[in-house]
Amino acid sequence: MTPEALTSPTLPVRHGFFTRRGGVSTGPFESLNCSLSSADDPAAVRANRDAVARSLGAGHLLGLSQVHGPEVVTVTEPWLPGAGPRADALVTAIPGLALGVVSADCTPVLLADARAGVIGAVHAGWRGALAGVLEATVAAMQALGASRIAAAIGPCIRQRSYEVRADLRDAVLARDPADARFFQDGSAGHWQFDLAGYCAARLSGVATVDILDADTAAEADRFFSHRRRTRNGGGPIGHQISAVVL
């Protein structure tokens, strides 16, 4: 099977926001589960990730042990599958290395300055975005020579599906009360949070930003979703991958 991916016209390099379609995993992980930390068959996950790398023409597909924080890794050489450092973003100026992040409602962000030859990939949940992982990624790319960066925000949980409690809203507003614009009234004591819009606003220093119109929580046949899994009573879950390569 061929991995299915969405792309953005904003990014002038090879990339893909891959869906859950086009892999070999079965059961709740059907079919393109790319999470090395899931309970899926490791051989199936490796096959899925290899298929993603081939579709991008990449010699290596690098990932991270994602922790919902602000840490960024500057890649100078590939590492073994599953040996990625604890961080939520990675950047490189080395051709042929695909940078990948997995998600299941959090925001995947891919970035590139094709002229400078610098790319980046970010896993931005609300905690990581609040902590500054997006700004830190832009700074790491600029340290490699990037000056005109394009960014694309991939499939994530969208505002219509993302009802949050006061603790999340209070944490966001404690940093900047003006970010109340990313919340709409929900049910009693809850708000609908525009995670994609919030991430776009935190991409300071980026020339262009594209937000793909896809809602992971609402599209069960195309995307894995932690929120949907929770609503359905729990159980195993897979993750889709988003990747970019020079």
pLDDT tens digits for range 109-131: 999 999 999 999 999 999 999 99
Residue located via tokens 């970019």: 244
DSSP state of 231: H
Query: Model's pTM, two decimal places?
Result: 0.98
In Å, what is the CA distance from 28 to each residue of 44, 157, 220, 234, 238? Answer: 13, 19, 11, 11, 7
Beta strands in the chain (DSSP E): 5-6, 14-18, 60-62, 72-74, 89-92, 97-103, 107-113, 118-124, 150-153, 163-165, 183-185, 190-193, 208-211, 240-245
Alpha helices (H) in 83-124, listed in sequence order: none
Element (H, E) at 175: helix 166-175
CA distance 173 to 180: 6
Alpha helices (H) in 35-132, listed in sequence order: 42-56, 126-131
22 exposed, middle or buried (CB, 10 Å; 0-12, 13-18, 19+)?
Answer: middle
Output the tens digit of pLDDT for each of the chain's 246 residues.
799 999 999 999 999 999 999 999 999 999 999 999 999 999 999 999 999 999 999 989 999 999 999 999 999 999 998 899 999 999 999 999 999 999 999 999 999 999 999 999 999 999 999 999 999 999 999 999 999 999 999 999 999 999 999 999 999 999 999 999 999 999 999 999 999 999 999 998 899 999 999 999 999 999 999 999 999 898 999 999 999 999
In Å, what is the CA distance from 97 to each residue of 57, 59, 116, 172? Answer: 9, 6, 16, 34
**Cβ–Cβ contacts within 10 Å for residue 69, how many?**
18
- Amino acid identity of residue 9, one-letter, is P
CATH number of 5-158+194-245: 3.60.140.10
- Amino acid identity of residue 197, one-letter, is G
